[in-house]
């Protein structure tokens, strides 16, 4: 007769559930299926919007803004002085970027963006916010222990490197200009755009030096 192991069964149950989508994801999927079944939406339209937000609206828009700031010092200064106006020059201004402040990383300074109250985010230039950005653990720890959070993202800063934590709100959001990697002096705007990561524009990625023209 087979022996029932309650602990093993519980672990198996947890393992199976760990691979299931979140409750909110399941609700969205159910709603989508219902709307498609009733012919109220076309699944191709949904796919097109998802692709637009993930590939076109952002974060490639944000990456192009950064690339241009690396190439054009005048644009970079306008971006730091009046980010919304500078972004509007590129046709990327949206509701989430109407009130935007741009900050830049240097060898001695690192900037980290968080939204402690909810998950305010400049989605018109960065696309859909990553799940970790909306998580309570990130939102609370980024303020209390920014150096520890950054280390979990693989960023180990020198002790004398200053960390600035910027708390986004519905009225003001932030974008980080990462340092331009050495060895990219001959890159054009398209090539520079390819090496800018979404996380580097939030502040949870810093070292872009590993990417070279031959890697694109």
Catalytic option among 69, 115, 124, 200: 115
Here the tokens at position 45 are 């339209």
Annotated catalytic, 120? Answer: yes
Bridge partners (DSSP) of residue 167 are: 114
Catalytic option among 120, 124, 168, 200: 120
| Cα distance between residue 105 and residue 196, in whole Å | 13
Per the CB < 8 A criterion, the answer to whether 198 and 62 are in contact is: yes
The answer to whether the bond into 59 is cis (omega within 30° of 0) is yes
Annotated catalytic, 119? Answer: yes
Per the CB < 8 A criterion, the answer to whether 162 and 109 are in contact is: yes
Helices then strands, counting H and E runs in the chain, come out as 12, 4
Annotated catalytic, 161? Answer: no
Catalytic option among 33, 54, 118, 151: 118
Annotated catalytic, 24? Answer: no
Report, as residue numbers or ranges, the catalytic residues: 115, 118-120
């Amino acid at each position: 007769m087979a022996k029932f192991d309650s602990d093993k069964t519980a672990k198996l149950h947890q393992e199976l559930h760990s691979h299931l989508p979140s409750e909110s994801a399941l609700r969205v999927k159910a709603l989508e299926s219902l709307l498609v079944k009733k012919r109220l939406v076309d699944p191709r339209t949904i796919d097109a919007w998802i692709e637009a937000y993930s590939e076109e609206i952002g974060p490639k828009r944000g990456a192009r803004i950064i690339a241009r700031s690396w190439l054009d010092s005048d644009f970079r200064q306008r971006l730091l002085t009046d980010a919304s106006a500078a972004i509007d020059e590129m046709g990327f201004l949206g509701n989430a970027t109407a009130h935007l402040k741009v900050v830049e990383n240097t060898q001695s300074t690192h900037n980290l963006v968080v939204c402690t109250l909810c998950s305010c985010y400049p989605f018109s230039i960065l696309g859909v916010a990553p799940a970790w950005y909306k998580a309570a653990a990130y939102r609370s720890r980024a303020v209390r222990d920014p150096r520890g959070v950054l280390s979990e993202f693989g960023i180990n800063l020198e002790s004398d490197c200053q960390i600035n934590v910027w708390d986004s709100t519905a009225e003001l959001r932030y974008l980080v200009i990462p340092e331009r990697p050495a060895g990219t002096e001959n890159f054009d705007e398209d090539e520079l755009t390819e090496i800018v990561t979404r996380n580097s524009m939030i502040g949870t990625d810093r070292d872009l030096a590993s990417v070279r023209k031959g890697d694109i």
